[in-house]
Chain A
Amino acid sequence: MYIKINNNHIELIKSANPYLIFATTFVFIIGLYYSLFQSPPDYIQGDSMRIMYIHVPSAWFALMTYSILAGSCVLWFITRNPLFNVVARSIAQVGMVFTLMSLITGSIWGKPTWGVWWVWDARLTSMLILFFLYIAYIFLWQAISNKELASKISAALAIIGFINIPIIKFSVDWWNTLHQPASISKLSAPSIDVSMLIPLFLMTAACFLFLVTVSLIRFRLVLIENKMLRTSN
């Protein structure tokens, strides 16, 4: 399963880039139209639930990106194919942005629904920890001067963080039941109407396209960075 990246692949990625950017903006605009104009307001939360259409996709992709990051780090350790390291490094920063966005939009959504900006609930706390894991991954790589070592070390850290996230989720859940028996965040999730599913699906697709676009741009960037490091050594 040894995939090798050659110049043809890079040219293909390069030529796909404008189309991807166009597709991302197009789907985002349709998604915005549906989520702001075409969908009905929620009958409990009113119009504030429109924040869900950007909050939920960014939270999903924050988690998915970390899974891809940790998975590619594991695959890199198993197969020793440097492609996986490049994938991990190109995807990490997009994940960090998505995590930050889900935290900010979630907090803005929390103010009208719960009355507070932040709740010390398992989901929110583990997202916050996830953000710091992304920061640790990115900045540890930058802090170590020997870049080959730096990738190995930060990959090990990403895998440890992947083990740590479920432990934190579990422990904060346990801690919550101890400290605040009636958590306000435990609103039962009602089944979502189809008219709300369409904008959610569109925004998810748009976020996915954004993830792919920026990851491919960063993929090229990381490859050039690697080449420059190799020539300078």
Chain B
Amino acid sequence: MLNLIKRDLLLSFYSSANFFFTVSFFVLILILIPFAFGTQSDQLKLLFKGVVWIALALSIIITVDRIYNADYEDGNLDIIMQKNRTIEYLVISKYVTHWFIYCLPLLVILPILSFLFYLDYLETIQIFINLFIGSFGMVFIANFVSALTLGAKRTIFLKAIIMIPLFVPFIIFGSDAGSWSILLGLSMLSFVISIYVTAYGLRLYGE
């Protein structure tokens, strides 16, 4: 499992444009807020709290093609699955690497962005905690959607249609500062469902 994590992290490190693209995408969506709604500080604060979740959802959606597809197409997935009898280890390592590569950079850049939008320390910490918990749940969902749609090539819109309804509860509870506990519950629930479904999808495609 650690080998798999190390391998994926190294692979993404050597093609390091990956982090850069998702972070820029995230920042650019948020930069559109003042252009679209004006620069009143109260309004910006309010909008930032909501749009940050939309930006997170979109930047997870655009990475969904990169979780299993490369390994599936060059045949590495079969080899990994033959070596590891328990696919769940592979799935968990993919969760970890996907979160590290695509969500951690967003969380790192978040405090800087929130100061650009006039949020104070307390609000930034609340948003950070909510995004930290919610991003895990969203990563679990993105993983199982990616594993289920391995056979459907070039269907990023279809994947978005599948994923956005599943993201709705996260966005509702995430944009409210006080409901981190419900968000944690949702993330745990999505972990339980996701690990079964991802392993099921990978077994189907691995056969």
Contacts and interface: CB of A to CB of B under 8 A. Distances in A.
B151 A144 contact: yes
Contacts of B176: 175, 178
B169 A157 contact: no
Interface in B167-207: 168-169, 172-173, 176, 186, 193, 197, 200-201, 204-205
A212 interface: no
Interface of B: 144, 148-149, 151-152, 155, 158, 161-162, 164-166, 168-169, 172-173, 176, 186, 193, 197, 200-201, 204-205
B162 A153 contact: no
Interface string A161-172: 101100110011
A171 B172 contact: yes
A150 B197 CA distance: 14
Contact of A160 (B166, B173, B205): B166
B151 A146 contact: yes
Contacts of B149: 140, 143-144, 153
Interface stretch (A11-19, A31-39, A52-60, A127-135): A127-135
19 contacts: A132-B161, A132-B164, A135-B161, A136-B165, A140-B149, A140-B158, A144-B152, A145-B151, A149-B151, A149-B205, A153-B151, A156-B197, A160-B144, A167-B169, A168-B165, A171-B168, A171-B172, A171-B173, A174-B172
A145 B168 CA distance: 29
A168 B151 contact: no
B205 to A, nearest CB: 7
- Summarize A's interface: helix, strand, loop or mixed: helix
The listed residue with most A CB atoms (<10 A of its CB), out of B148, B151, B172, is: B172
B168 A152 contact: no
Interface of A: 129, 132-133, 135-136, 139-140, 143-146, 149-150, 152-153, 156-157, 160-161, 163-164, 167-168, 171-172, 174-175, 178
Contacts of B165: 129, 132-133, 136, 161, 164, 168
Given A152-B204, A160-B197, A172 B152 contact: no
Nearest to B162: A136
Contacts of A161: 165
A128 to B, nearest CB: 9
Nearest to A132: B165
B204 A143 contact: no
Nearest to A174: B172
B161 A164 contact: no
Contacts of A178: 176
B168 to A, nearest CB: 5
A143 B197 CA distance: 19
B14 to A, nearest CB: 31
Contact of A156 (B166, B169, B200, B205): B200
B197 to A, nearest CB: 6
Contact of B161 (A139, A145, A156, A167): A139
A141 B103 CA distance: 30
